């Protein structure tokens, strides 16, 4: 049941803490362990959602899968261990978590802690086997959390063993009214790029104009050499002490350097990416979202996925290397370009998916072109088609992954395939997001630019010799929809 390998310092410390917690007295009921759940369920994490990413569980010690065992569970299986000091680490994004297990005549006592807090002892003995909620966390601040379950090797006198089980976890999010953990007040993390220069002043200026602060700043490292990609550079320096989080788009290797996906997949660049993980530590940006080798389903980057196995192997090596040094791990984002995929040869971007054990967020860059969405019917058609935002979101949900929209915007600049200053697209995207708030939608960044030959998505920057496009109608509606609730 191993997932991708991460360092276990936090797990070891929590294990030492857990074994010191007093046992609950015999007769304590599951209902005594928490208050009522918050009203909106988000994600179910099953026992076989194995890995160390968000919405996954990783096991340590001696666990076995009990398939088709009694009592029955929603997915027909659960994980169990009768080994003292075995345990599991669960990562989730939300404001509360319920953990379910099997109560049984041989049930033992476990401890469960969240984010390194005081462990709670849970007695899983019952004279009659049943599946039940064994733990409910307190209300948590919105964000990524870690729950640790440990078999402490104890049992009450009536129990015939020390078995501990994990069936599933139910994650909850806030129902409505914005997210108090977000500066923007939106129900998801909301941000923008810095235009025309990637710095905090330009990000803040964009968000001041829309009427709500940015939670995120989308930045791109320079792609000309390894030092600018993996070591501290102007990318981090320009946002030193900025209170929001960074979304950092990184190429797998420097452009025009002779580097290849094949060499990356063989581990040739692992050392550089371990350095990048250390850079996140030294700059205090471990909570960043890292978009690795984005838009590989196109044909405009040197890492385009014409060779899926090389791309996937490269992506996995980068992910493992970053997670080997960054502490805690950042969120790793696999992003495609919306609509038609030039690569791979199947024209299905999912053939480039690195796999659940390596990905935390599945994302898309969705602009109003190829095809444009002037009407709701046009938006629905492109969103549901292969490569569309709804199509990819459904894939993310099926894999218990968070979903992100790393770039989106109207298109006035590139060619006749854009719908121009189209406020309808702003409305359609906002409606789409609101329908999925609290259901896996984690973040979005509006991408505003007006220099040719880019997409011409600019909302606020005045036109001049270098800024040729502005979308006043789209800006007016965007401001109305994104201003502080």
Q: Which residues form the catalytic set?
A: 295, 407
- C-alpha radius of gyration, the chain, whole number: 24
What's CA 173's distance to the chain center, in Å? Answer: 15
- Pair type for strands 56-60 and 189-193: unpaired
What does residue 338 show for φ and ψ, rounded to 5 degrees?
-65, 155
SS3 state of residue 77: strand
Q: What is the DSSP letter of 333?
A: E
Both structure tokens of 309? 């196995």
In degrees, to the nearest 5, what angle opens at C-alpha 141 toward C-alphas 138 and 146? 70
- The candidate with the shortest Cα–Cα distance to 446, out of 258, 216, 273, 241, is 216
Q: What is the DSSP letter of 258?
A: S
SS3 state of residue 353: coil
Helix (H) or strand (E) segment spanning residue 102:
strand 96-103
- The candidate with the shortest Cα–Cα distance to 429, out of 473, 366, 335, 387, is 366
Helix (H) or strand (E) segment spanning residue 59:
strand 56-60
Please list, in sequence order, all residues whose beta carbon lies within 8 angstroms of the beta carbon of residue 176, skipping any fewer than 6 positions away: 187, 437, 438
- CA distances, 170 to each of 65, 215, 317 (Å): 19, 26, 31
* CA neighbours closer than 13 Å in the CB half-sphere of residue 80: 22
Query: Please, where are the H alpha helices in 169-307?
Result: 200-210, 226-230, 234-237, 261-265, 270-282
What does residue 81 show for φ and ψ, rounded to 5 degrees?
-150, 140
Residue with tokens 């096991």: 59
Both structure tokens of 162? 């020390």
Helix (H) or strand (E) segment spanning residue 443:
strand 441-446
């Amino acid at each position: 049941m191993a997932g991708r390998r991460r360092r276990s310092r936090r797990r070891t410390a929590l294990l030492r803490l857990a074994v010191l917690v007093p046992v609950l007295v015999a007769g304590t009921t599951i209902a005594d362990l928490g208050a009522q759940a918050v009203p909106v369920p988000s994600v179910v994490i099953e026992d076989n959602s194995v890995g160390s990413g968000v919405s996954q569980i990783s096991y340590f010690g001696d666990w076995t899968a009990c398939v088709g065992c009694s009592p029955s569970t929603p997915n027909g299986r659960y994980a169990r261990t009768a080994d003292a000091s075995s345990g599991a680490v669960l990562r989730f994004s939300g404001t509360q978590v319920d953990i379910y297990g099997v109560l049984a005549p041989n049930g033992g006592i476990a401890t469960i802690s969240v984010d390194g807090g005081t462990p709670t002892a849970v007695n899983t003995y019952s004279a009659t086997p049943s599946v039940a909620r064994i733990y409910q966390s307190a209300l948590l601040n919105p964000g990524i959390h870690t729950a640790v379950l440990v078999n402490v090797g104890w049992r009450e006198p009536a129990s015939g063993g020390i078995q501990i089980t994990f069936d599933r976890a139910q994650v909850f999010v806030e129902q409505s009214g914005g997210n108090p953990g977000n500066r923007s007040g939106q129900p998801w993390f909301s941000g923008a790029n810095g235009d025309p220069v990637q710095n905090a002043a330009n990000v803040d200026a964009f968000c001041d104009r829309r009427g709500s602060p940015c939670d995120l700043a989308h930045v791109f490292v320079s792609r000309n050499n390894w030092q600018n990609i993996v070591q501290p550079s102007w990318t981090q320096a320009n946002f030193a002490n900025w209170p929001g989080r960074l979304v950092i788009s990184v190429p797998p290797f420097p452009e025009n350097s002779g580097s290849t996906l094949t060499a990356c997949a063989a581990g040739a660049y692992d050392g550089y990416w371990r350095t990048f993980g250390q850079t996140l530590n030294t700059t205090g940006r471990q909570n960043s979202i890292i978009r690795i080798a984005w838009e590989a389903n196109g044909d405009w980057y040197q890492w385009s996925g014409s060779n899926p196995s090389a791309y996937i192997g490269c992506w996995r090596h980068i992910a493992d290397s970053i997670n080997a040094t960054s502490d805690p791990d950042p969120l790793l984002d696999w992003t495609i370009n919306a609509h038609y995929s030039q690569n791979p040869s199947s024209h299905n971007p999912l053939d480039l998916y690195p796999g659940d054990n390596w990905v935390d967020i599945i994302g898309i860059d969705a602009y109003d072109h190829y095809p444009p969405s002037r009407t709701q019917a046009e938006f629905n058609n492109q969103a549901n088609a292969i490569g569309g935002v709804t199509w990819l979101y459904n894939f993310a949900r099926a894999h218990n992954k968070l979903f992100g929209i790393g770039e989106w915007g109207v298109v006035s600049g590139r060619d006749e395939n854009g719908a121009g200053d189209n406020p309808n697209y702003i409305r359609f995207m906002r409606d789409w997001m609101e329908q999925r708030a609290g259901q896996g939608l984690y973040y979005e960044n509006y991408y505003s630019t007006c220099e040719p030959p880019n997409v011409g998505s600019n909302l606020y920057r005045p036109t001049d010799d270098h800024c040729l496009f502005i979308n006043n109608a789209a800006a007016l509606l965007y401001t109305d929809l994104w201003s502080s609730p």
